């Protein structure tokens, strides 16, 4: 194959479907993780709260107040938690990148040899590994070393604001469902309808998140549905005890 043919073949290569080579997988997973966690927590925690109150009292205002308070507190808590967590991760990444940049400036030959060894360990011959290391270093030494040594893209670090916003919005959307499901039906149907609506929502959330992440949907659905059912059963039992005892 001549150079022209080889070039045409290379230009014709396209990423497989659902493999966006021009996007950051870490960034995508960060959004997905925060969004799914927020939605699941919003559904389960708020459902548990309103089911528990509804089991103890039929007062609509009390149930609504508990639901709204749980939504607000949960959304803020999730956002702050995600922001702090991802900020800590980002600070660690920046510290590692600063160290790598300093080492590149102070010991370029040692870093080149280190990069060569990394590619040798991946299966390349010493000669090919050296050539790859030199070419990558000439193109963008910092990015090459950050990716090979640290597994980081220095130009696309995880964003704490993205994670916080995704988590807060998804929690809020998830929390609205059990609030509506417990308030809209007649009093005698409130808890059964809420249970059913929450379990269906959790099944959908688990299925969607697993498909987006390429995981087994059955396992994901079972995990979230069983967890949600247990949470509501426990809070319902506590509400019943509180209602009977008049607490």
Query: What does the H/E/C string look like for 60-110?
Result: HHHHHHHHHHHHHHHHHHHHHHHHHHHHHHHHHHHHHHHHHHHHHHHCHHH
User: Is the CA virtual torsion 236, 237, 238, 244 positive or negative?
Assistant: positive
Closest CA to 193 of 184, 206, 204: 184
Closest CA to 33 of 209, 207, 176: 209
**Confidence grade of residue 208 (pLDDT, cut at 50, 70, 90):** confident
Tell me how far apart the alpha carbons of residues 21 and 1 are, in angstroms, rounded to a whole number. 26
How far out from the chain centre does Cα 119 lie? 31
Would you put residue 151 in left (φ > 0), alpha (ψ -120 to 50) or beta? left
- Give ∠ CA 239-50-85 in degrees, rounded to 5: 110
Q: pLDDT at position 28, please?
A: 61
- What is the rounded average pLDDT for all residues in the chain? 82
Instruction: Report the predicted TM-score, pTM, of the whole model to 2 decimal places.
Output: 0.71
Q: Under a CB-based contact definition with an 8 Å cutoff, are residues 240 and 55 in contact?
A: yes
Instruction: Using the predicted structure, report yes or no on whether residue 46 has a pLDDT greater than 90.
Output: yes
Instruction: Using the predicted structure, report yes or no on whether residue 19 has a pLDDT greater than 80.
Output: no
Closest CA to 192 of 49, 44, 54: 54
Terminus-to-terminus CA distance in the chain, angstroms? 83
pLDDT of 67-117, one tens digit each?
999 999 999 998 998 899 889 988 888 888 888 888 888 888 888 888 888
Closest CA to 198 of 59, 32, 50, 37: 50
Q: Averaged over 60-68, what is the pLDDT?
A: 93
């Amino acid at each position: 194959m001549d150079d022209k043919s080889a070039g045409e073949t290379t230009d014709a290569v396209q990423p497989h479907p659902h493999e966006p080579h021009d996007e950051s997988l870490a960034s995508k997973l960060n959004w997905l993780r925060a969004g799914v966690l927020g939605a699941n927590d919003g559904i389960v925690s708020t459902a548990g709260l309103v089911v528990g109150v509804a089991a103890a009292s039929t007062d609509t205002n009390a149930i609504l107040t508990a639901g709204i308070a749980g939504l607000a507190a949960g959304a803020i808590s999730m956002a702050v938690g995600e922001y702090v967590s991802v900020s800590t991760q980002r600070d660690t990444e920046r510290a590692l990148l600063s160290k790598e940049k300093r080492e590149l400036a102070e010991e370029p030959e040692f870093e080149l040899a280190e990069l060569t060894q990394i590619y040798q360990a991946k299966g390349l011959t010493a000669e090919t590994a050296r050539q790859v290391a030199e070419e990558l270093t000439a193109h963008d030494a910092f990015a090459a070393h950050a990716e090979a040594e640290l597994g980081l893209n220095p130009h696309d670090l995880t964003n704490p604001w993205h994670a916080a916003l995704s988590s807060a919005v998804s929690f809020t959307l998830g929390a609205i469902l059990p609030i509506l499901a417990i308030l809209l039906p007649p009093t005698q149907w409130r808890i059964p309808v809420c249970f059913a609506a929450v379990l269906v929502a959790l099944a959908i959330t688990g299925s969607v998140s697993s498909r987006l992440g390429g995981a087994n949907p059955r396992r994901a659905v079972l995990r979230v549905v069983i967890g949600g059912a247990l949470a509501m059963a426990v809070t319902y039992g506590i509400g019943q005890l509180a209602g009977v005892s008049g607490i």
